[in-house]
């Protein structure tokens, strides 16, 4: 189930969900990883809670209820970040509250968590979250290497790399190529 | 004058999708044809303007009650509620428009743009704004907030419609098999973003 | 599978979820409020420590305002060893906050950028401690140099391809210096 989330149903490369933070926070490997882990945190917890209470929620208020639960976990994450990881909080900025509308989180809740057991939902959360985190970290690495010549903050070359990759256009292009490589390697078409 | 700067900045210099990366999911999904792009743009502009208006007022209330940490939860609830309401009203008033917008309306709730703009409006500071007498002189007041929201949505629409036009052409050309679909769309978006970067420094 | 969607059910469930969540959030907020405040103070203190000579007081506790800027006196025992001036100005991408430290001789001890909204790889380079724009200012007495970029006839090297940011940075330093002079003349 976990490997499903990483390869078969990789949210970034296969399902093409959660694109906004993917492009917006991967200016470096650490940022990408931080964002991925933050989203995974929310994903696992919301999956667990939603699958536990799915049965008592009337169908018509299903989506608003899920949204409140997800938003609460995101807010908890926000507060914890502000208190203990302020520099990462500043770098990720607007994208932290945007985890609420990250299609991945609501998508998994709707498609999976409300139909499966708590244990399975937790595993699904871990798998999908890991898939997302790996995708973000890899994209972050690529952009950081090409754009500033460093790897996880360790400078490898003198001076600058190809600036375009840290900026907007590079994000789109790097992701495109990564997607192509992923497809070739796993033989999966989106 | 500030309004002009805001418009130019939101549409060209800080385009919400091409340089801020908000609204990318529907951007890649909806932009295959120009007429669907037009429909989506109209829907998004309307919801963003309305949502910003309400959340701006709501933020005032949150600050008064010292519960700013409820911002994320309350904002998204407001947005979800608004979208639901708009759907219901539209169905009653103009069934044809409702049909035309189709599935786009509910999708707008999870469109990063709406929540993104709502939050930006109450937290960002802009050096060209000078609200004399306000608690934070660089923050927008209500009319500026709504104008900002509309301008941003128009920026989104411009990017979306341009993109749809390009993609319609791409359908007819010879794309290598592995690039078909999302990758080639991403590269196109990247080049479009590169083009828009030329606007930076304009304001 | 889910319970019936009648009106009471919906209202009760949604309201209770909202209340429970609000309560939990309120709790987490109260727990984290102090660490958050401390993190912010630590950020300012780190900036101060990097721009003035060694001190053993708590400058944040002795901060005062001059012309809209915050001045943090750094003291070793009871003697002032320097002043850190926090300036807010606007740069290429938006507002910028910087800390400029002066020693008793009126020289710039060092500078630090607290926050900015400039482009990564270009204007954002001003946070790099090794960039010429900043290393050239260390130990300089602003009264003896022309604090503008070489392009404008001044003496300082701008960041390559980031002239606007460099200009804003130097303007911030100049503003800080004016504040410092005012403080010195008042003592």
**Dist CA A145 CA A162 (whole Å):** 9
Quick one: pLDDT at residue C1? 46
A162 or B4, which is more confident?
B4
Tell me, yes or no, if B67 comes closer than 8 A to chain A by beta carbon. Answer: no
Residue range B33-80, pLDDT digits in tens: 777 778 778 888 888 888 888 888 888 888 888 777 888 888 888 888
Tell me, yes or no, if B187 comes closer than 8 A to chain A by beta carbon. Answer: yes
Q: A169: which chain B residues are within 8 Å (Cβ-Cβ)?
A: 190-191, 193-194, 197
Arithmetic mean of pLDDT, A44-50: 88
Quick one: pLDDT at residue A158? 59
- Residue C121 to residue A75, Cβ atoms within 8 A: no
Closest Cα of chain C to A189: distance in Å?
34
What mean pLDDT is reported for chain A?
Answer: 80
Nearest chain A alpha carbon to C6: A58
pLDDT tier, A122 (very low <50, low <70, confident <90, very high otherwise):
confident
- Residue A61 to residue C39, Cβ atoms within 8 A: no
Three-state SS for B201?
Answer: coil
**Dist CA B62 CA C120 (whole Å):** 33
Residue range C84-94, pLDDT digits in tens: 888 888 777 67
pLDDT at B129 over 70: no
Tell me, yes or no, if C62 comes closer than 8 A to chain A by beta carbon. Answer: no
Contacts of A133 (CB under 8 A, 6+ apart): A33, A36, A37, A39, A40
Chains that touch C (3 or more CB pairs under 8 A): A, B
pLDDT at B127 over 60: no
Q: C1: which chain A residues are within 8 Å (Cβ-Cβ)?
A: 54-55
What mean pLDDT is reported for chain B?
Answer: 79
Q: A74: which chain B residues are within 8 Å (Cβ-Cβ)?
A: 72
Most confident of A77-81, B165-169, C148-152: A77-81
Q: Where are the domains of chain A?
A: 2-185
Q: Where are the domains of chain B?
A: 30-172
List residues of C whose CB lies inside 8 A of any B CB: 21-22, 25-26, 29, 90, 92, 94-95, 119, 164
pLDDT at A190 over 60: no
Quick one: pLDDT at residue B20? 79
Quick one: pLDDT at residue B125? 62
Quick one: pLDDT at residue C2? 53
Tell me, yes or no, if B88 comes closer than 8 A to chain A by beta carbon. Answer: no
Contact C93, C119 (CB under 8 A): yes
Tell me, yes or no, if B70 comes closer than 8 A to chain C by beta carbon. Answer: yes
Quick one: pLDDT at residue B136? 63
* 3-state SS record for chain C: CCCCCCHHHHHHHHHHHHHHHHHHHHHHHHHHHHHHHHHHHHHHHHHHHHHCCCCCCCHHHHCEEECCEEEEEEEECCEEEEEEEEEEEEECCEEEEEEEEEECCCCEEEEEEEECCCCCCCHHHHHCCCCHHHHCCCCCCHHHCCCCEHHHCCCECCCCCCHHHHHHHHHHHHHHHHHHHHHHHHC
What is the value of ipTM here, to two decimals?
0.77
Tell me, yes or no, if B73 comes closer than 8 A to chain C by beta carbon. Answer: yes
pLDDT tier, C145 (very low <50, low <70, confident <90, very high otherwise):
confident
Three-state SS for B202?
Answer: coil
What mean pLDDT is reported for chain C?
Answer: 83
Q: How many CB atoms lie within 10 A of CB B54?
A: 15
Arithmetic mean of pLDDT, C38-53: 86
In percent, the amount of chain B with pLDDT more than 90 equals 0
pLDDT at A88 over 50: yes
Q: Where are the domains of chain C?
A: 50-186
Residue range B84-113, pLDDT digits in tens: 887 888 788 777 767 766 666 777 777 888
């Amino acid at each position: 189930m976990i490997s499903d989330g990483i390869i078969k149903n990789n949210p970034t490369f296969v399902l093409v969900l959660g694109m906004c933070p993917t492009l917006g926070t991967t200016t470096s490997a650490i940022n990408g990883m931080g964002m991925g882990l933050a989203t995974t945190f929310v994903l696992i917890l919301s999956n667990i809670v939603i699958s536990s209470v799915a049965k008592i929620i009337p169908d018509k208020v299903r989506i608003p209820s899920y949204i409140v639960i997800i938003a609460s976990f995101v807010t908890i994450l926000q507060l914890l970040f502000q208190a203990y990881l302020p520099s990462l909080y500043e770098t990720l900025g607007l994208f932290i509250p945007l985890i609420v509308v990250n299609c991945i989180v609501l998508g998994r809740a709707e498609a999976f968590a409300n139909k499966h057991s708590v244990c399975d939902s937790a595993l699904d959360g871990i798998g999908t979250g890991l898939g997302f985190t790996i995708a973000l970290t890899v994209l972050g690495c690529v952009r950081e290497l090409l754009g500033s010549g460093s790897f996880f903050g360790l400078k490898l070359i003198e001076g600058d790399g190809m600036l375009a990759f840290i900026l907007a256009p590079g994000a789109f292009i790097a992701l495109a190529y990564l997607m192509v490589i992923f497809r070739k390697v796993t033989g999966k078409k989106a | 004058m500030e309004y002009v700067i805001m418009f130019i900045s939101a549409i060209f210099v800080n385009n919400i999708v091409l340089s801020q990366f908000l609204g990318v999911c529907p951007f890649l999904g909806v932009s295959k044809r120009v007429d669907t792009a037009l429909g989506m743009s109209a829907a998004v502009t309307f919801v963003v303007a309305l949502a910003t208006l309400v959340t701006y007022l709501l933020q005032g209330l949150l600050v008064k009650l010292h519960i700013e940490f409820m911002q994320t939860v309350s904002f998204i609830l407001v947005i979800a509620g608004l979208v639901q309401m708009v759907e219901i009203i539209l169905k009653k008033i103009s069934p044809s428009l409702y049909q035309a917008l189709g599935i786009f309306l509910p999708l707008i709730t999870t469109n990063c743009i709406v929540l993104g703009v709502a939050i930006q409006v109450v937290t960002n500071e802009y050096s060209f704004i000078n609200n004399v007498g306000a608690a934070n002189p660089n923050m927008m007041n209500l009319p500026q907030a709504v104008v900002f929201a509309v301008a941003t949505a128009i920026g989104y629409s411009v990017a979306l419609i341009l993109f749809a036009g390009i993609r319609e052409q791409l359908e007819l050309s010879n794309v290598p098999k592995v690039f078909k679909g999302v990758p080639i769309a991403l590269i196109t978006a990247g080049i479009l973003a590169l083009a828009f970067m030329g606007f930076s420094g304009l304001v | 599978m889910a319970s019936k969607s009648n009106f009471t059910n919906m209202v009760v469930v949604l309201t209770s979820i909202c209340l429970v969540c609000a309560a939990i959030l309120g709790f987490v907020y109260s727990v984290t409020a102090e660490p958050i405040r401390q993190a912010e103070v630590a950020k300012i203190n780190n900036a101060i420590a990097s721009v003035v000579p060694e001190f053993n007081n708590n400058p944040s506790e002795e901060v005062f305002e001059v012309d809209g800027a915050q001045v943090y006196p750094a003291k070793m025992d009871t003697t002032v060893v320097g002043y850190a001036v926090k300036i807010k100005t606007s740069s290429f991408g938006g507002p910028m906050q910087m800390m400029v430290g002066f020693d008793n001789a009126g020289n710039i001890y060092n500078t630090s950028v607290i926050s900015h909204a400039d482009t990564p790889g270009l204007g954002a380079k001003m946070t790099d401690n090794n960039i010429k724009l900043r290393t050239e200012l260390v130990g300089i007495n602003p009264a003896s140099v022309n604090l503008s970029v070489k392009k404008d006839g001044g003496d300082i090297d701008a960041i390559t391809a980031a002239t606007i940011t460099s200009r804003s940075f130097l303007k911030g330093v100049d503003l800080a210096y004016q504040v410092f002079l005012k403080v010195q003349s008042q003592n």
